């Protein structure tokens, strides 16, 4: 199955994505992880991306699309994948649609992990990652609201959209996601 996982920063997407890919044997494509690895390796793309990431802004679409095109061409993606953190803008979603239409491998679902914004701010402040200063958190939530949320409607129109409640225990949320994805098998 080919699934995209959409959710604001702090929703717990990474944790759930990790468990879901193990359960279904999918490749885990986290663009945040890819960008952090590129940044740590000081590649040209990584250093460019860091200018945006450190302020909480999204990196430019061309840059992330280049990374994803390359990644989706790798053999482990043939058995299905969970895209975690991509697409995050309508332009990225359109680029993905074109890419997948060319390959004849459309998406099966777009799964939203829904968490209210007050809860996100609380969780992110608690997590205290180096890039989690209040100003950066605000910027990232803002980017989600303005640039990523329109995707919910985009995928709803394509009849791919499913939303699950992101409040509860890790296991409860996992069970909700599983119930949705089991139907795709």
Strand partners, 112: 6, 163
Question: Is 82 an interacting residue with respect to ligand ADP (CB under 6 A)?
Answer: no
**Min dist. Cβ of residue 54 to ligand ADP (A):** 8
Q: Distance between CA atoms of 3 and 27, rounded to whole angstroms?
A: 10
The residue from 1, 18, 19, 32 that contacts ligand ADP (CB under 6 A) is 32
The residue (of 32 and 183) whose beta carbon lies closer to ligand ADP is 32
Size of the site for ligand ADP (CB under 6 A): 17
Q: Distance between CA atoms of 67 and 169, rounded to whole angstroms?
A: 33
The residue from 95, 140, 151, 155 that contacts ligand ADP (CB under 6 A) is 140
Give the number of other CB atoms < 10 A from CB of residue 51.
12
The residue from 20, 27, 58, 82 that contacts ligand ADP (CB under 6 A) is 58
Q: Which two tokens stand for residue 84?
A: 């975690």
The residue (of 63 and 180) whose beta carbon lies closer to ligand ADP is 63
The residue from 12, 46, 85, 166 that contacts ligand ADP (CB under 6 A) is 85
Q: Residue 113: phi, psi to the nearest 5?
A: -105, 110
Q: Distance between CA atoms of 2 and 52, rounded to whole angstroms?
A: 28
């Amino acid at each position: 199955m080919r699934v995209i996982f959409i959710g604001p920063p702090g929703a717990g997407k990474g944790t759930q994505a990790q468990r879901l890919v193990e359960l279904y044997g999918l490749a885990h494509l986290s663009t945040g992880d890819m960008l952090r690895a590129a940044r740590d390796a000081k590649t040209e793309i990584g250093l460019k991306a860091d200018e945006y990431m450190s302020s909480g802004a999204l990196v430019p679409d061309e840059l992330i699309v280049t990374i994803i095109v390359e990644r989706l061409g790798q053999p482990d993606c043939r058995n299905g994948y969970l895209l975690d953190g991509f697409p995050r803008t309508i332009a990225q979603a359109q680029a993905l649609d074109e890419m997948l239409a060319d390959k004849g491998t459309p998406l099966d679902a777009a799964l939203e992990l829904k968490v209210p914004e007050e809860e996100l701010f609380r969780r992110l402040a608690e997590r205290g990652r180096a890039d989690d200063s209040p100003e950066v958190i605000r910027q990232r939530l803002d980017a989600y609201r303005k640039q990523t949320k329109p995707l919910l409607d985009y995928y709803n129109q394509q009849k791919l959209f499913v939303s699950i409640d992101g409040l509860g225990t890790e296991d409860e949320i996992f069970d909700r996601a599983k119930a949705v994805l089991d139907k795709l098998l």
